[in-house]
Amino acid sequence: MQRRTLLKMFGALPLAAAVSRAFAAESGVSEAFYRNAIVIDGQAGLDAENYGKVHAVLLPNEIADIKRSGMTALSVTIGQVGNVPNSLAATLDAIGQVNALIDANPAVLMHALSAADIRQAKREGKLALVYNFQDTFVIGPELERLDIFRGLGVRIVQLTYNKRNLSGDGSLERANAGISDLGRATIDKIEALDLLLDLSHGGQRTIAEAIAYAKRPMLISHTGCRALHENPRNVGDAELKAMADKGGVMGVYFMPFLTANGKPTRRDVIDHLEHAVKVCGEDHVSIGTDGGLGALVIDDKARENQRKFFEDRKAKGIAAPGEAADVFNLVMDYNDATRFKLLADDLARAGWKDARIEKVLGANLLRIYAEAWRG
């Protein structure tokens, strides 16, 4: 799993003091509204101190953060990204470790294989985990591996990561060569297995060509709007509209790529959401934070972890513009387990109606999950 998935983010921090008068003026959504909403992070990590241990029991403060968050489901990455050796073994090991975490915490966690499972998690007050891939390097030309991983519970498959693989070019590949014949065959297989195609991290042509080729709706689960900030990890309006026209859903992330200074605020998140709604329509926008569930404590240990994380990504050639040793992958205003409630409040204060907020919080993702997985 990704480093940010395993960060120890528990122990909430206060919100940043600089809150605009517009946000401070009103109270936000009601507690009842948020309590009843299906809330899904379309790309996230579950933080657990005991992750990977034989008895991976969640700690009391970790369980408390899950409950405080109001989250219904998280889509979590299983395995490796980038063209790395031993990716098959690492991916199988990661699936086993997350399975163990769920098995050790049956009162809190469950594995979602269908949209019905997510609805069940909501009824039972549990957190559902959706397994995703962020790269098809582990698949390559051996498309039958998709059958195997579907059997192991993977439900979302991202075509490329930041660099080129055999399916196509990622967002950092300068050639911007689009998808390959194998990429088209991979999309065919994904759709035939009722898996959900994700085009996050793709190069511009990869995304455009994959959308044009796909027969079914797709995700761009965690990205930003390139019209607001020119960054290869963000997606242009033409591709966003084409995705929406095919019934797809995009998710806005809480990442430094939202703004030129690498320190996005709550206002930047809302600007990207509002632009996405303008381009795609409110039925095609969601949230995929690309972060952990709890709050990241910014201390010397966290700074050292970020430095090592960035240097490793830079050495592998997968660090995107905007990443840096001293830039944390978060929106400080939402650095709390209750970030989705805080965002919902801010959207209400910005004039959004409850129905639109509910769609972006999770209803749009639940719909496309049900369509792709046929249940």
Over 312-354, what HEC string results?
HHHHHCCCCECECCCCCCCCHHHCCCCHHHHHHHHHHHCCCCH
Which class for 60: exposed (0-12), middle (13-18), buried (19 or more C-beta within 10 A)?
exposed
Per-residue pLDDT band at 2 (split at 50, 70, 90): very low
* Helical spans, DSSP H, in 105-180: 115-124, 144-151
pLDDT at position 18 = 36
Using a pLDDT cut of 90, give the percent of the chain over it: 87
Residue 351 half-sphere exposure, CB side, CA atoms within 13 Å?
A: 4
- pLDDT of 11 higher than 60: no
pLDDT at position 179 = 98
Residues with Cβ within 8 Å of 19's Cβ and at least 6 positions away in sequence, in order, are 266, 333
- pLDDT of 21 higher than 70: no
pLDDT at position 4 = 40
Beta-bridged to residue 131, according to DSSP, are 76, 154
* Least-confidence region, from 16-30, 104-118, 188-202, 240-254: 16-30
Beta-bridged to residue 168, according to DSSP, are 165, 179
Task: Compute the chain's Rg from CA coordinates.
Answer: 19
* Phi, psi (degrees; rounded to nearest 5) at 132: -130, 160
pLDDT at position 123 = 98
pLDDT at position 242 = 98
Stretch 152-180: mean pLDDT: 97
Instruction: Find out whether 132 and 158 touch, Cβ atoms under 8 Å.
Output: yes
- pLDDT of 12 higher than 60: no
Cα–Cα distances (Å) from 191 to 144, 198, 342, in that order, read 13, 11, 36
- pLDDT of 117 higher than 60: yes
Per-residue pLDDT band at 9 (split at 50, 70, 90): very low
- Dist. CA 369–CA 375, nearest whole Å: 8
pLDDT in tens, 87-101: 899 999 999 999 999
pLDDT at position 79 = 79
- pLDDT of 20 higher than 50: no
Beta carbons within 10 angstroms of residue 303's beta carbon: 13
- Dist. CA 209–CA 199, nearest whole Å: 10
What is the dihedral angle through the alpha carbons of 53, 54, 60, 66, rounded to the nearest 10 degrees? 70
pLDDT at position 48 = 83
Instruction: Find out whether 168 and 203 touch, Cβ atoms under 8 Å.
Output: yes
pLDDT in tens, 275-291: 999 999 999 999 999 99
pLDDT at position 26 = 63
pLDDT in tens, 54-68: 778 999 999 999 999
Domains of the chain, start order:
3-373 (3.20.20.140)
Using a pLDDT cut of 70, give the percent of the chain over it: 93
Over 10-26, what HEC string results?
CCCCCCCCCCCHHHHCC
pLDDT at position 84 = 82
**What does pLDDT average to over the chain?**
92
Q: How many residues in the chain?
A: 375
pLDDT at position 102 = 96
- pLDDT of 19 higher than 50: no
Per-residue pLDDT band at 15 (split at 50, 70, 90): very low
Q: Is 221 helix (H, G, I), strand (E, B) or coil?
A: strand
Stretch 5-24: mean pLDDT: 37
Q: Is 225 helix (H, G, I), strand (E, B) or coil?
A: strand
Stretch 35-40: mean pLDDT: 98
